[in-house]
Amino acid sequence: MPNIIEITDFAAPELDVYARLTENQLLNRHEPEKGLFIAESPKVVERALNAGCNPISLLVERKHIAGEARDVIARCGEIPVYTADLEVLKNLTGFPMTRGVLCAMRRPPMPAVEELCTDARRIAVLENIMNPTNIGAIFRSAAALNIDAVLLTPDCSNPLYRRAIRVSMGTVFQIPWTYLDNETAGWPQPGMKLLKNIGFKTAAMALNDSAIRIDDPRLTQEKKLAIVLGSEGDGLASSTIADCDYTVRIPMSNGVDSLNVAAASAVAFWQLGTAGKPI
């Protein structure tokens, strides 16, 4: 039986998670086991639930309780479902709500790199990509184009930031991912060594005179390949490029010398992730 609660007090502490806590406060770096995230829209909440994420409360526009949010509410059991009309919710959250549904959930524990990569064939490694929109777009392409896992360096934007989740259309809950943190597999040298021990060759996506074309047959013939993508401004660090087995470029025309990292990831995943696999 859903626990529907009408919002009467904007300052109620139980609404802090939706109205007043920043992304960093939700992340809770000092006590990550207490970290939270916000999933937005019924479809995204469904994907998070399918991935085993635990909900703690819902914020739902009143008209969606018996409509688009009905199945999500039913799946969430007896957790609080805070509700009001759309204008009230916009004043509370400060932004329009996609499909009138937000869900606060507990952050799942991070798996080990070996756990994600041992049986993987194609993975993406993201180095210092700090824009949540790009992170979300990369995950969406990864899900669509046969990437088995995503590894992120510590300075990357978190895939469970609200905007990254929304842009990814919830695929951050479908593609396994974890961080190459300094305690387990720092980056680049320790992480690179770990990937090579698991059997991966590494391909740095970079503008370099010695780079091979992305359609070079040597790349598609690799049984296990890690596609390494760099930050929006500077690209990959020179030390990362030097340590990779391949440096790879996307041929371009009309004097264009580079693509946005999210666009580049889609091209790379299409060419290298789908090789030998049916779409």
pLDDT at 62 over 80: yes
- Taking only the tens place, the pLDDT of each residue in 27-47 is 987 787 889 999 999 999 999
Lowest mean pLDDT: which of 44-53, 69-78, 184-193, 227-236?
A: 184-193
The pLDDT score that the predictor gives to residue 83 is 92
Cα 75 to Cα 46: distance, rounded to the nearest angstrom: 9
**Which whole number is the average pLDDT over 131-144?**
97
- Taking only the tens place, the pLDDT of each residue in 153-188 is 999 999 999 999 999 999 999 999 999 986 667 898
Q: Higher model confidence: residue 62 or residue 181?
A: 62
pLDDT at 250 over 90: yes
pLDDT at 246 over 90: yes
Looking at residue 244, the DSSP 8-state letter turns out to be S
Q: Which residues contact 112 (CB under 8 A, 6 or more apart)?
A: 178, 184
pLDDT at 278 over 80: no
The pLDDT score that the predictor gives to residue 95 is 67
**Which whole number is the average pLDDT over 225-250?**
94
Q: What proportion of the chain, given as a percentage, has pLDDT over 70?
A: 95
**What average pLDDT does the structure give for the chain?**
91
Which has the closest alpha carbon to 122: 2, 225, 242, 192? 225
Assess contact for 144 and 152: CB atoms under 8 A: no
Residue 40: HSE in the Cβ half-sphere, 13 Å Cα cutoff? 17
The pLDDT score that the predictor gives to residue 277 is 61
When pLDDT is cut at 50, 70 and 90, the band that residue 276 belongs to is very low
- Taking only the tens place, the pLDDT of each residue in 209-219 is 889 999 999 99
Looking at residue 12, the DSSP 8-state letter turns out to be -
Looking at residue 25, the DSSP 8-state letter turns out to be H
3-class DSSP assignment, residue 218 = helix
pLDDT at 244 over 50: yes
When pLDDT is cut at 50, 70 and 90, the band that residue 48 belongs to is very high
**Which whole number is the average pLDDT over 37-65?**
94
Cα 44 to Cα 113: distance, rounded to the nearest angstrom: 25
**Which whole number is the average pLDDT over 110-135?**
95
